[in-house]
């Protein structure tokens, strides 16, 4: 009897060792990528996504990007749960950024419109230098993300990334300088949604994506964190696709700024976050042809009249006009940023020569 007991114990021990060996082999063979948060972590692999966050996540095929595998884990400050944020208010602060040419009279008048509509609004206009300094101060404890930001050489990529980093860390309103405000900020959210909204976005005139020129957020939302994750993955993918580094990216080696760091990137990041948290598909049917604001969990989506009325032909059946975007488009050149005066003069001269030819 004792001999059989020894045999059984030996078999049990061999079984346990085999299970341990198999689990260790699987763990070491599956490539992982991670976006971690202080006091919270989120690790993705080919089989599952786990997180000690307040929501139940899911894995999306869009979250798995081969080019992102093997990258450093980009840490962020701890996100806040939907319930935590609902008990807070939106910071009454406007963030904007000027280019290296400063602000002309038209943009100065646009900036004043915000103070006229919302007296007492705190307002900060960053420059290239102060934007970098903001990042050094606010993201000093997150060197991977800080160094990635500082390494970007294309101004529009850097400005787009800074927008989301500020909205995540501080919240408030981000608006491009070429935007006129037409309504007090405290009227943007309908009464029935005020205690349920943590992020406010508006549709562009085509109704297929969220406008990035004006966004209002509470700090540390999971949705903006998702946007940051998407942008990082797209930057790394672009670098791999063109066999370069992130610091080596140019306007010519970016597939599309809109998709990598701009409004499409923001739209996809937010939609992925909503799907992850609700477990339900979210897409164009949820946001198309809106005539009044719609609350998707804690994200308030405004009809295109709110932020894109001018481009939409000033519709009369899609709610109030909140802001007006003038599409100055100073980044739309081969360098992705404002051009020097002499460069503009050279371009105009070349255009004139072509017309005369």
pLDDT tens digit sequence for 283-301? 888 888 899 999 999 999 9
pLDDT at position 40 is 38
The single-letter DSSP state of residue 1 is: -
pLDDT at position 101 is 82
How large is the average pLDDT for residues 184-198? 97
For residue 20, which phi and psi values (nearest 5 degrees)? -60, -45
pLDDT at position 177 is 96
Q: What share of the chain has pLDDT > 70, as a percent?
A: 72
**Distance (Å, whole) CA 252 – CA 51:** 37
Cβ count near 124 (within 10 Å): 14
198 or 3, greater pLDDT: 198
**Distance (Å, whole) CA 22 – CA 7:** 23
Helix axes 155-169, 222-241, angle to 10 degrees: 160
Are 155 and 249 within 8 A, CB to CB? no
pLDDT-derived band of residue 340, with 50, 70 and 90 as boundaries?
very low
How large is the average pLDDT for residues 66-87? 74
Mean pLDDT of the chain: 80
Domain boundaries, given as residue ranges, for the chain: 82-325
Taken as a whole, the chain contains a residue count of: 357
Structure tokens at 189: 């959210």
Q: Was domain 82-325 assigned CATH 3.40.1000?
A: no
pLDDT tens digit sequence for 222-263? 999 999 999 999 999 999 999 999 999 999 988 899 999 999
For residue 244, which phi and psi values (nearest 5 degrees)? -140, -175
218 or 5, greater pLDDT: 218
76 strand-pairing partners: 37
**Distance (Å, whole) CA 293 – CA 270:** 17
pLDDT tens digit sequence for 7-66? 556 666 666 555 555 444 433 333 322 344 443 333 332 222 222 222 222 223 333 332
Are 234 and 260 within 8 A, CB to CB? yes
pLDDT tens digit sequence for 89-132? 999 999 999 988 889 999 999 999 999 999 999 999 999 999 99
**Distance (Å, whole) CA 306 – CA 329:** 20
169 or 51, greater pLDDT: 169
């Amino acid at each position: 009897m004792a001999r059989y007991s020894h045999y059984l114990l030996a078999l049990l021990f061999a079984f346990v060792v085999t299970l341990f060996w198999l689990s260790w082999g699987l763990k070491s063979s599956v490539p992982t990528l991670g976006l971690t948060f202080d006091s919270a972590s989120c690790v993705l692999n080919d089989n599952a996504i786990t997180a000690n966050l307040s929501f139940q996540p899911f894995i999306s095929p869009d979250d798995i990007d081969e080019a992102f595998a093997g990258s450093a884990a980009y840490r962020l400050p701890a996100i806040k749960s939907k319930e935590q944020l609902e008990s807070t208010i939106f910071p009454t602060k406007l963030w904007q950024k000027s280019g290296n040419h400063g602000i002309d009279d038209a943009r100065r008048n646009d900036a004043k419109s915000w103070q006229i509509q919302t007296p007492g609004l705190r307002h900060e206009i960053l420059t290239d230098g102060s934007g970098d300094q903001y990042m050094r101060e606010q993201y000093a404890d997150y060197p991977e993300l800080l160094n990635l930001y500082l390494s970007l050489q294309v101004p529009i990529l850097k400005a787009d990334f800074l927008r989301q980093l500020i909205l995540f860390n501080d919240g408030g309103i981000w608006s491009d300088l070429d935007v006129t405000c037409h309504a007090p900020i405290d009227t943007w959210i309908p009464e029935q949604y005020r205690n349920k909204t943590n992020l406010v976005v508006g549709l562009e005139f085509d109704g297929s994506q969220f406008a990035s020129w004006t966004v209002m957020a509470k700090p540390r939302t999971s949705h903006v964190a998702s946007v940051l994750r998407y942008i990082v993955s797209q930057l790394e993918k672009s670098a791999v696709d063109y066999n370069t580094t992130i610091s080596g990216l140019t306007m010519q080696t970016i597939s599309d700024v809109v998709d990598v760091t701009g409004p499409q990137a923001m739209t996809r990041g937010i939609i992925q976050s909503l799907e992850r948290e609700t477990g339900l598909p979210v897409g164009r049917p949820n946001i198309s042809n809106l005539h009044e604001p719609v609350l998707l969990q804690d994200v308030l989506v405004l009809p295109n009249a709110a932020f894109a009325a001018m481009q939409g032909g000033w519709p009369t059946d899609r709610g109030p006009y909140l802001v007006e975007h003038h599409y100055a488009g100073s980044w739309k050149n081969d360098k992705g940023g404002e051009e020097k005066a002499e460069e503009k003069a050279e371009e105009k001269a070349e255009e004139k020569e072509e017309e005369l030819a």
